[in-house]
Amino acid sequence: MKYLSLALKNLLRRPLRSILTIAGVALAVAVAVSLSGFNLGYKRAINGSIEKLGFQVMIMAKGCPYEAATMMLKGGTGLLYLPNEAFENVRKDQEIKSITPIFIGVSQKEGSNISGDSTKSFTIIAGIDVPSFRDMKPWMDFKKGTGYDGGRWFAEDSKQEIVMGFEVAEYEQRKVGDTFYASITPKGKPDAVMREFKVVGVLDRTGTQDDGTVFMPIAAARTYFNQPNDLTIIGVKLKEFSGVKIKEFESRWLKLPEVQVVSLEQVKGTLVSLVGTAQAMVAAVAAIAIIVAVIGVINTILMSVYERTGEIGIMKALGARRGDIFQLIWLETLAICLLGAAVGCVLAFVGSQLVELAIKSLINLGVTGSIVYITGEVLAWAMAGAVALGFFAGLYPAWRASSMRPIEAIRQGE
Amino acid sequence: MSDIIIQARGLKRYYQRGIETVKALDGVDINIHTGEMVSVLGPSGSGKTTLINLLSCLDAPSAGTLSVAGKEVGGMSEEGLTEVRRGVLGFIFQKFYLLPTLTVAENVELPLLFLGRNRDRAATMEVLKQVGLSDRVGHLPRELSGGQMQRVAIARALMIHPKVLIADEPTGNLDKANSEAIFKLFQHLVTEQGLTVIVTTHNLALGYLADRVITLEDGRILKEERGVAHHAEPELSKV
């Protein structure tokens, strides 16, 4: 018989009470692990999404920075435009390694109406310059397989050829060689015009907004939308990527009217701040859950000590020292916390998908991919936290039990 | 006469109850010899339990001297008293205090845990055989009768091979047959193993089964008599 074995057997004396206390700890740990996983996963998702933008700096029309950040990652319909002169000016900058102009417009889908869900009613159309765009995103490739083989980029002077992103092609059930219809309203015109396009390629999944975008030559897009001199974004890669260089670049081009320069770091900060309040609230809930769990553990162990006063007295009479009793009670507390933590980790791991769905339904996070990322390190920290929790929660009950005088304990137990 | 294992002189234990001082034990001189069985008798409030608590180092005297197994324990701290108890004294109480989730064998082995000794199943079987429970090794306490549970408590006390076995009202929760069986077991342990047994009881018939009977009244020794042990098989109902 060892102390740990004895402690575990003592917990079995009141199984329901032990299970409820363990459940309380498990819940607190599950919340804490999920929150940590969310923090970690969200930062990871932001980094991943921004890295896949391919740009280090974006130049776009002045407006809300939140809108700018999320538009780049999630798309949007409230588009602002900057003049083509801005691109012509910026491309002369000696610090630029590569630069690409992007025109974004939205077309109404076949059979949909504007009053419906905008994400289902509209298709994002991006007019791009293929060579410079590919230079920004060299990882982009065409989907392979039956119906997709032979995918290619459109000819620069083509008016009818398009390349579809992975998801939009799946949603619209289009393959290479198919026809795609888009209802485009030219700027300044009251009515939409139905356009017919030929799909020349379907892109492989990127995990970014590109998956939901239809690409066409920038000249064609500007023509269809009747905005021959407009751009939505100018994507820029600098020769040297550093905070100083970006600041210098920003100060050089902020002089242009109606233009804002947004670096990736700013976008990250903006997106993190978007969910900062929600994270603080969830952290507060986790903290409350942990405090309640600690109180529950202390209460359970104190009650157990009170019920076993006579037994503790007899143990002391049989030769148990203060340290022995302290160790026994402390191990019981620790066992509850560790078991609770283990269950909580499993709950968090299994429930992370549900948590993700819940968070995504409540907040527009502006990122794609998984946002709850539970690592071994997070789980190890949770277990370590449970040990610390058990250590502190067990101190008072263990001290109280070990401080009992044997004769008084035996007398109380009779 | 054999060696004295416990010696008390002028032993007092006073309690303060409000402004009143309760003299639970008021100047007791006593010698307990190795290998004898001593019964402490007396009505409720006479000081039996107080005396036995002091002799077993569970409580500290207010005044007087007390020596247990050659160690002067007067003025010792709680930790000091624990050290005297460990491995020297075995305890049995009216309530059995068996751990309900441990088997009979595990309950018996419990003191080994506190003394830092390894489990010794052979020794466990030996003491269980002594108390007549070798067929109940794997049973839980709830599966035993009151008498059997007290036997487990005795086995637990014997497991550390104590020099003195101290029993405070060990038959208080038992019927007549089981009570007699427990006292006969004490007699056996004294005669066969040379164990020293100090036992308190309300039952005069059982008390006189000891070698020596000490009767207390109002915290003082009223009389000391020889018991019937070793002389004849007692007829309990007539004692």
Q: What does pLDDT average to over chain B? A: 87
Vertex B83: Cα angle to B77 and B89 (nearest 5):
115
Q: With an 8 Å Cβ cutoff, are B101 and A3 in contact? A: no
Q: Which of A10, A321, A407 sits opposite B58 (nearest CB)?
A: A407
User: Does pLDDT of A190 surpass 80?
Assistant: yes
Of residues A45 and B166, more confidence is placed in B166
Q: Which of A2, A9, A320 sits opposite B102 (nearest CB)?
A: A9
B48: helix, strand or coil: helix
For B109, the closest chain A residue by CA position comes to: A1
Write out chain B residues lying below 8 Å of A310, CB-based: 95, 97
Per-residue pLDDT band for B171 (boundaries 50, 70, 90) equals: confident
Note the pLDDT of residue A50. 73
Note the pLDDT of residue A274. 66
For A320, the closest chain B residue by CA position comes to: B114
Amino acid at B152: V
What is the rounded average pLDDT of the residues B17-28? 88
Predicted complex ipTM: 0.83
Write out chain A residues lying below 8 Å of B91, CB-based: 314, 317-318
User: Does pLDDT of B2 surpass 70?
Assistant: no
Alpha carbon of B177: minimum distance to chain A alpha carbons (Å): 23
With a CB cutoff of 8 Å and minimum separation 6, the contacts of A6 are A328, B99, B102, B110, B113
What's the half-sphere exposure (Cβ side, CA atoms, 13 Å) at B107? Answer: 31
Of residues B215 and A276, more confidence is placed in B215
Note the pLDDT of residue A413. 65
Note the pLDDT of residue B231. 46
Write out chain A residues lying below 8 Å of B156, CB-based: 318
Note the pLDDT of residue A128. 94
Q: Which of A12, A318, A407 sits opposite B53 (nearest CB)?
A: A407
User: Does pLDDT of B39 surpass 90?
Assistant: yes
Q: With an 8 Å Cβ cutoff, are A414 and B95 in contact? A: yes
What is the rounded average pLDDT of the residues A229-251? 83
With a CB cutoff of 8 Å and minimum separation 6, the contacts of B139 are B103, B104
Vertex B168: Cα angle to B198 and B145 (nearest 5):
115
Q: With an 8 Å Cβ cutoff, are B114 and A318 in contact? A: yes
Write out chain A residues lying below 8 Å of B106, CB-based: 1
Q: With an 8 Å Cβ cutoff, are A319 and B86 in contact? A: yes
Note the pLDDT of residue B140. 94
Alpha carbon of A414: minimum distance to chain B alpha carbons (Å): 7
pLDDT tens digits, A147-179? 898 899 998 888 999 999 998 999 889 999 999
Tally of CB atoms within 10 A around A181: 13
Copy the structure tokens of residue A8.
Answer: 């575990």
Alpha carbon of A207: minimum distance to chain B alpha carbons (Å): 56
Copy the structure tokens of residue A97.
Answer: 């390694």
What is the rounded average pLDDT of the residues A217-235? 92
pLDDT tens digits, A288-301? 888 888 899 999 89
User: Does pLDDT of B205 surpass 50?
Assistant: yes
Note the pLDDT of residue A102. 92
User: Does pLDDT of B234 surpass 50?
Assistant: no
Write out chain A residues lying below 8 Å of B140, CB-based: none
Of B2, B67, B7, B66, give the one whose Cα is nearest residue B36: B2
User: Does pLDDT of A114 surpass 80?
Assistant: no
Q: With an 8 Å Cβ cutoff, are B58 and A414 in contact? A: no
Of A226, A294, A235, give the one whose Cα is nearest residue A261: A235
User: Chain B within 8 Å of A2 (Cβ-Cβ)?
Assistant: yes
Q: With an 8 Å Cβ cutoff, are A318 and B111 in contact? A: yes
DSSP letter assigned to residue A375: -
Write out chain A residues lying below 8 Å of B152, CB-based: none
Per-residue pLDDT band for B12 (boundaries 50, 70, 90) equals: very high
The number of C-beta contacts closer than 8 angstroms across A and B is: 74
Which of A6, A314, A332, A414 should we substitute to test contact with B (largest number of B Cβ atoms within 10 Å)?
A: A314
Which of B78, B97, B159 should we substitute to test contact with A (largest number of A Cβ atoms within 10 Å)?
A: B97
For A10, the closest chain B residue by CA position comes to: B101
Q: Which of A9, A313, A321 sits opposite B82 (nearest CB)?
A: A321
Note the pLDDT of residue B232. 43
Note the pLDDT of residue B166. 93
pLDDT tens digits, B148-157? 999 999 999 9
Write out chain A residues lying below 8 Å of B110, CB-based: 1, 6, 315, 318
- Residues from B in contact with A at Cβ < 8 Å: 53, 56, 58-59, 78-79, 82, 85-87, 91, 93-95, 97, 99-102, 106, 109-115, 119, 156-157, 160
User: Chain B within 8 Å of A404 (Cβ-Cβ)?
Assistant: no
Q: Which of B93, B109, B113 sits opposite A314 (nearest CB)?
A: B93
pLDDT tens digits, A55-111? 778 888 877 655 656 555 555 556 788 888 888 888 888 888 889 999 998 887 655
Share of chain A above pLDDT 90, in %: 25
For B166, the closest chain A residue by CA position comes to: A317
pLDDT tens digits, B94-137? 888 899 889 999 999 999 998 888 888 899 999 899 888 889 99
Note the pLDDT of residue B238. 37
With a CB cutoff of 8 Å and minimum separation 6, the contacts of B23 are B12, B13, B14, B218, B219
CA dihedral B222, B225, B227, B228 (to 10 degrees): -130
Q: What are phi and psi of B224, to 5 degrees?
A: -125, 130
Q: With an 8 Å Cβ cutoff, are B113 and A2 in contact? A: yes
Q: With an 8 Å Cβ cutoff, are B102 and A414 in contact? A: no
Strand partners, A278: none
For A5, the closest chain B residue by CA position comes to: B102
User: Does pLDDT of A228 surpass 70?
Assistant: yes
What is the rounded average pLDDT of the residues A178-207? 90
Strand intervals (E) in A85-244: 96-108, 122-128, 161-164, 179-184, 193-202, 213-217, 230-231, 233-238
Note the pLDDT of residue B237. 37
User: Does pLDDT of B75 surpass 60?
Assistant: yes
Q: With an 8 Å Cβ cutoff, are B101 and A13 in contact? A: yes
Note the pLDDT of residue A409. 86
What is the rounded average pLDDT of the residues A234-254? 81
pLDDT tens digits, A296-324? 999 989 998 988 888 898 888 888 999 99
Per-residue pLDDT band for A216 (boundaries 50, 70, 90) equals: very high
Q: Which of B78, B97, B114 sits opposite A311 (nearest CB)?
A: B97
What is the rounded average pLDDT of the residues A121-148? 89
Write out chain A residues lying below 8 Å of B115, CB-based: 319
Q: Which of B79, B86, B106 sits opposite A1 (nearest CB)?
A: B106
Note the pLDDT of residue A111. 54
Write out chain B residues lying below 8 Å of A317, CB-based: 56, 58, 85, 91
Per-residue pLDDT band for A219 (boundaries 50, 70, 90) equals: very high
Note the pLDDT of residue A366. 54
Q: With an 8 Å Cβ cutoff, are B156 and A407 in contact? A: no
pLDDT tens digits, A324-358? 999 999 999 999 999 999 999 999 888 887 877 77
Of residues A355 and A113, more confidence is placed in A355
Write out chain A residues lying below 8 Å of B79, CB-based: 321-322
Q: Give yes or no for a contact between A174 and A153, defined as CB atoms under 8 angstroms apart.
A: no
Q: Which of B58, B85, B113 sits opposite A1 (nearest CB)?
A: B113
Query: What counts of helices (H) and strands (E) characterise chain B?
Result: 7, 10
Copy the structure tokens of residue B54.
Answer: 């002091």
